[in-house]
Structure 1
Amino acid sequence: MVSTQLDAHEGSGQNSESEKPTHVETEHAAVTYQEKNAFQAHADESGEGQNTKMTKRRFMALVSQAFLWTGSQIPVYLFGGVPPYIYADIGGHDRWTWFVLANLLSLAAVCPFVGSLSDMFGRRYVALSGASFIVLGMIVCSTAHTMNVFIGGMVLAGVGAGINELTALAATSEMAPTAQRGKYVSILIFTIVPFCPSVLWAQLIAAHSTWRYIGLFCALWAFVGLVLTALFYFPPPRVNSEGLTRGEILKRIDFVGGFLSISGMILFMAGLQWGGYMYSWKSAHVLVPLILGAALVVLFVIWEGFFAPYPMFPRRINQAPRILTLTLIITFISGANFFSILMFWPTQAFNVYGHDPVQVGIRGIPVGFSIMAGACIVLWLLSVFRGANRSLMVISSILMTAGCGAMSVARPDNMSTLWGILVLAGLGIGGIVVPASIITTIICPDDLIATIAALTLSIRVIGGSIGYTIYYNVLVAKFTSAAIHYIGGAMVKYGNITSTEVIGEVIGLTSISLLDEIAEVPGIAGNEALYKIVIQAGQIAYAEAYKWVYYVSIAFGAVSVLASLFLGDIASYITFPKYQHDSQEFERWRGVRMSCEHSLAEIITENN
């Protein structure tokens, strides 16, 4: 990949401005020299000679992108920590998982079109629109009185998140001196650190005021990013591909592929979500969306592969089929486990280990920080060893599989055992999502870096959506049988309650974590001792159910380990033997390579 860039420099000197990719292949996360010149002086390949002076305008523009970046992440992180507070207020306990799925699917859907939108309207206006979507979505969520309306708000926020996640990266890159691009993007990534204890912040807000203030906070945060972007971020006009007009660019957008992929995934996810929980797996409610959704996804693949004149993901992207395919499989699996840990652990910390908001929040801290640590460690090792991608992927996959699988030992009396296990799982997950993204950018053509970045992000998010749905169905199925045994048994033994209606009511309230209402159930009301026994029985039932989720994660992880074992080596894509015996040319190549490595580091923002 880098050799192509070097040859281009050798053939045309410093005139990289003449190289214009087609619109579909426009780099979302890379920038042209024309764009850079609005913020910095021209430099050679190594990045020397650039104007690195930090002006007030540049600093504030960078701050604006940090607000956009964090604003794209925090709605799911914060709301995902307090579902019981939300559906206790507005109802919808039978469909609350859709606010997570809808956000992720809308994020994945918009990613392939960000480059085209930037060509048509300019990156500044695209960034402003993304922030506006998040603000609007959070207003809808904060004022919702039904779960369906809340889900609609999360869809809007997901669209904005998909736009801003890629745009903030690109904007930060264009303002950074080439030699320091990695540093700038790393700082951007680390602005999410204050939100790593997102479960703690969300629990405190919801417990001591109302969950609606979470939406208000997210809306204000995104609005600050919108205002700062409007005031300080003024990039030059984008030089779009081949000088195409907006109408010509519009004609090249793959609307058919977008419709097939989005509608197919929504229907397929609906079938998975309903199956075995709301309807029988053999019912038309489940089979029709499952089959129709799968058929649309197959049609999408056929359309993209054989009929699309301007496909979302150009065929040239597949230069190393085995490495690309296996890396995307690993990305899919890591996405499933990433979002499952991210969304399931807060509820498990609540349902199994107690309901104190501070303690629930503290139990969630290891996940965010260990995932970030794993990402940074493996990214550094990938740079140091150059081509040790197979070993790093195998080790990370084993850590992820072992850590997630070991979570099955969780019981109400052994929280101290889980701290190390949570860290182990987080390190493994973080160690996959980052290098997997970078590997795909290394093996694809230079002008398709952003396209493959968008594909990788979409695959990760879709994997998370499907994995989360499967795990949730497993949890519901196992909890039902465990609750009948433990909760029903406790009520019969210690309360002499044999009414199936009363027992069913208590199990139902326990399943949606509405524990205060259990104290008002006939037979339990006024009996504090029995109430505590029933709550403890519910914790045991949940522990028995959650362990099956982690058993299933072992199967997913095993696929990731196997895929890692057969990964090809990427060393040939990042080394250049023909320059190693010519010191002058080798130093020149080394400068280009360092610049490219900094650019590749940008992609890690997808994984927070």
Structure 2
Amino acid sequence: MDSQLDRPTRDSFKNSSGDDKISDSPYLGETSALSCEKKDERGSDSDGQENAEDSRLTVTKFMVLMAMSFLWVASQIPLYLYAGISPIVIADIGGADRYQWIVLGNYIPLAGVTPFVGQLSDLFGRRNLALGAALLLLVGNVVCATAKIMNIFICGMVLMGVGAGVLELTALAVAGEMAPAKSRGIYVGAVILTVLPFAPSVLYAQFIAVNTSWRYIGLLLGGVAFIGLVLTAFCFSPPGPKTSDGLTRKQILARVDFIGGFLSIAGFTLFMAGLTWGAGLYPWTSAHTLAPLVLGVALIIAFGFWEMYGAEYPMFPGELKRSPRAFATVMVITAVSGAAFFTILVDWPTQYSHMYADSNDPMSVGVGSLPIAFCFLGGSVVVLILMSYMRSHIRLIIIVSCIVMTAGNGALAAAGVDNLHAMFAPLVLVCFGCGAVIVPCQIIASVICPDDLIATVFALTISVRVLGGAVGYAIYYSILKQKFAKAAVKYIATAAVEAGIQDPKQVKEVVVLVASSARQELWKYVHTQGQVDALVLAGRQAYAASYPFVYYASIAFGSAAIIAACFLPDMSKFMDAHVAVEYV
């Protein structure tokens, strides 16, 4: 095993004068002193017994985990609930030309804000930030549920994205830091598994929208977030920020990297906005696309230089790279697996809607999306448990998971208009594989970093995952748009002419209607059910000829994840019995 993987003892944190660096650390988070004490005590049998006693699941710990579970659920379900009924929302408030921002409006702030929040969380503690985030999510939910136009609805999704990012970060970080390192996967897996009742969120959303109004989804989401808020307020009391070294709150606030926060938020937001506009709304060579892309890249580069050379107390300190090889490998796997997952998260529901959904049964889309959540959760929990019991085989576990993810994505390229039954097997594989890679890599990153930077490293993995997903989305959408433009002429335009539509303008309008699955509008151009069915079939054939190239592209990301996983070092030495934070 490489010596660089050895977890440092307290002696390694001493400076040349023999003083502890820990006491001078800018990251005076709630875990610093505790983590140092734990690292002093490893090795003896008596200390192992003490750690075992300290890590018992007490009533206090159980209530903390319960609060974190509700925060986790509240952070995950907004996108699935609202995006799952986006056609119904669009039909009510308009905004078909901006529908992709329902998803990206939630993801972009999540990626841009979480790195900044990670540092604040480590400095000031989890509780206040979690309470504020839960309130922000509730406000965003109210904005979405009462919106009359799409722009207001997107604003609500942005607010919920900010809140969800903080809540996801808090839930995973707290579950991780209160568990022994060797059992961290089990604790985090237990919290993740609590979202299982909401795995059919798309189905729930369809049921609510069809039988009442889509706006009542706000009650379901609001109820979950409110319970999490109350439990956090009354049951979650983490150790407070360490101010005993003589620093006041004002002095600690002065150490927050506000410049780095601005550069990261602005850079990530502009970069992903440019990718989105270039993929769908504007040409890649237009000013609408190039301006945010170039400016975003420039700000991200400036952020990197600022963190390395300018910031006295950077958002991502050098201590995160204690094991450079492991850290870099995990970040690469997280980014490319995030891109691979976006083929399922974004493309599969729309593909199912265009190629397989029953126009007379709106809930069929929800049924077709069930494997995504269930299998992603299953993959996450299974691998997290395996990591806890097979600590010396983590590299093999991640490699196999990457292979399963890539194989499933590639197999979905075989989807045709009449073989839906054969597609559920690869769909299960890719969702299971994505879950088995993305969440476990977050746990690996938390194990190899110092205990007082757990929230920071979780924030970094979330941002890298979303950024990779945004890049993947831009590539996939560009490919789909290009391929579908050709297939639409071959299949839909031909079917329109055969149905008796001769006016080129009307043919173009029919192509647009078929592409958006607006089947009832086709009766304005044709007069028999047979003609409508022929146009619908032509649309499905056009999509069936286009989507395979999206999945071919995803194989490249999956292959990169497999190669990167081969360089993951042995992690067993990090998986010991120490606990980052004790909740008595």
TM range (shorter): 0.7 to 0.9
Q: CA deviation at 1:222?
A: 0.9
Question: 1:272 matched to which residue of 2?
Answer: 275
TM-score normalised over the length of structure 1: 0.83
**Which residue of the partner structure matches residue 584 of structure 1?**
none
> Counterpart in 2 of 1:402?
407
- Greater CA deviation, 418-427 or 45-54? 45-54
Mapped contact 2:391–2:572 kept (Cα < 8 A)? no
Give the equivalent residue in structure 2 for 1:510.
514
Distance 1:510 1:25, change over 3 A: farther
Q: 2:363 aligns with which of 342, 358, 364?
A: 358
The 1:230–1:277 alpha-carbon spacing in structure 2 relative to 1, beyond 3 Å, is closer
SS of 1:441's partner is helix
Counterpart among 373, 377, 398 of residue 372 in structure 1: 377
For residues 464-483 of structure 1, the aligned pairs below 5 Å read 464-483=469-488
Partner of 1:324: 327
What's the offset of the Cα at 1:341? 0.8
Q: 3-state SS of the aligned residue for 1:224?
A: helix
One-letter identity of the residue aligned with 1:269: M
Q: State percent identity of aligned pairs.
A: 45
Work out whether 1:189 is the aligned partner of 2:169. Answer: no
Shift of 1:313: 0.5
Q: How does 1:336-347 map to 2 (within 5 A)?
A: 336-347=339-350
Aligned partners of 2:32 and 2:92: how far apart in 1? 41
RMSD between aligned alpha carbons?
3.3
Could you tell me which of 77, 81, 84 is aligned with 1:81?
84
Contact 1:81 1:203 in 2 (8 A): yes
Q: 1:270 to 1:442 in 2, by over 3 A?
A: same
Given the two structures, how large is their TM-score scaled by the length of structure 2? 0.87
Q: In 2, Cα distance between the equivalents of 1:24 and 1:309?
A: 12
Code of the aligned partner of 1:262: I
List runs of 5+ in structure 2 lacking aligned partners: 15-20, 38-45
- Quote the Cα distance in structure 2 between the aligned partners of 1:361 and 1:227: 31
> Cα gap change, 1:137/1:345 in structure 2, threshold over 3 Å: closer, same or farther?
same
Shift of 1:443: 3.2
Contact 1:389 1:570 survives alignment (8 Å): yes
Equivalent pair of 1:26/1:241 in contact (CA under 8 Å): no
Q: Does 1:137 align with 2:140?
A: yes
Partner of 1:113: 116
- Cα offset, 1:319, TM superposition: 2.8
Q: Give a deviation string over 1:3-34, Cα, whole Å, max 9, x none.
A: 6576689x9xxxxxx96683447378997799
- Partner of 1:237, secondary structure, is coil
SS in 2 for 1:372: helix
Deviations 1:365-417 (A, max 9, x none): 22222222222333333334434343333222222111111111111200110
What is the deviation of 1:274?
A: 2.1
Q: What is the 5 A alignment of 1:518-533? A: 518-519=522-523, 521=524, 523-524=525-526, 526-533=527-534
| Corresponding residue number in structure 1 for 2:42 | none
In the superposition, relative to structure 1, how do residues 234 and 470 fare at CA in structure 2: closer, same or farther (>3 Å)? Answer: same
The residue matched to 1:411 in structure 2 has which SS?
Answer: coil
- Paired AA for residue 574 in structure 2: I
Aligned length: 561
1:546 is matched with 547
Map 1:513-592 → 2, pairs under 5 A = 513-519=517-523, 521=524, 523-524=525-526, 526-565=527-566, 567-571=567-571, 573-574=573-574
The answer to whether the 8 Å contact 1:135/1:220 transfers is: no
Query: Deviations for 1:214-251, whole angstroms, at most 9, x for unmatched residues?
Result: 23321232122223333444445333584532222222
> Residue 52 of structure 1 contacts residue 177 of structure 1 at CA under 8 Å; is this kept in 2?
no
Deviations 1:431-463 (A, max 9, x none): 211332233233333443332222112111221
State the alpha-carbon separation in 1 of the partners of residues 69 and 279 from structure 2.
42
Q: Partners in 2 of 1:323 and 1:170 — Cα distance?
A: 19
Contact 2:116 2:261 in 1 (8 A): no
* Structure 2 match to 1:248: 251
Are the equivalent residues in 2 in contact too, given 1:29–1:173 (CA < 8 A)?
no
Separation of aligned partners in 2, 1:472 and 1:29: 44
8 Å CA contact retained: 1:196, 1:365: yes
Is residue 385 of structure 2 the alignment partner of residue 414 of structure 1?
no
- Output the amino acid matched with 2:510: V
The alignment status of 1:440 with 2:445, answered yes or no, reads yes
Residue range with higher mean Cα deviation, 295-304 or 236-245: 236-245
Structure 1 portions without partners, runs of 5+: 12-17, 35-42, 576-592, 600-608
Shift of 1:75: 0.4
Q: In 2 relative to 1, CA 240–196 (structure 1 residues): closer, same or farther, beyond 3 Å?
A: farther
AA of the residue aligned to 2:424:
W
| Higher alpha-carbon deviation: 410-419 or 265-274 | 265-274
Q: Any residues of structure 2 matched to 1:60-75 within 5 Å, and which? A: 62-75=65-78
SS at structure 2 position matched to 1:277: helix
Instruction: Provide, for residues 348-369 of structure 1, a one-character-per-residue CA deviation record: whole Å limited to 9, x for no partner.
Output: 1111102323332222122222
- Give the whole-Å Cα distance in 2 for the aligned partners of 1:30 and 1:422: 46
Q: Paired residue for 2:337, among 334, 340, 364?
A: 334
Could you tell which deviates more after superposition, 117-126 or 419-428? 117-126
Q: Report the residue type matching 2:542 in the other structure.
A: A
Partner of 2:231: 228
Helix, strand or coil at the partner of 1:145: coil
1:308, 1:462 → 2: CA distance? 23
Deviates more, 1:294-303 or 1:267-276: 267-276
Match for residue 431 of structure 1? 436
1:501 aligns with 2:505: yes
Which residue type is aligned with residue 498 of structure 1?
A: Q
Shift of 1:45: 4.8
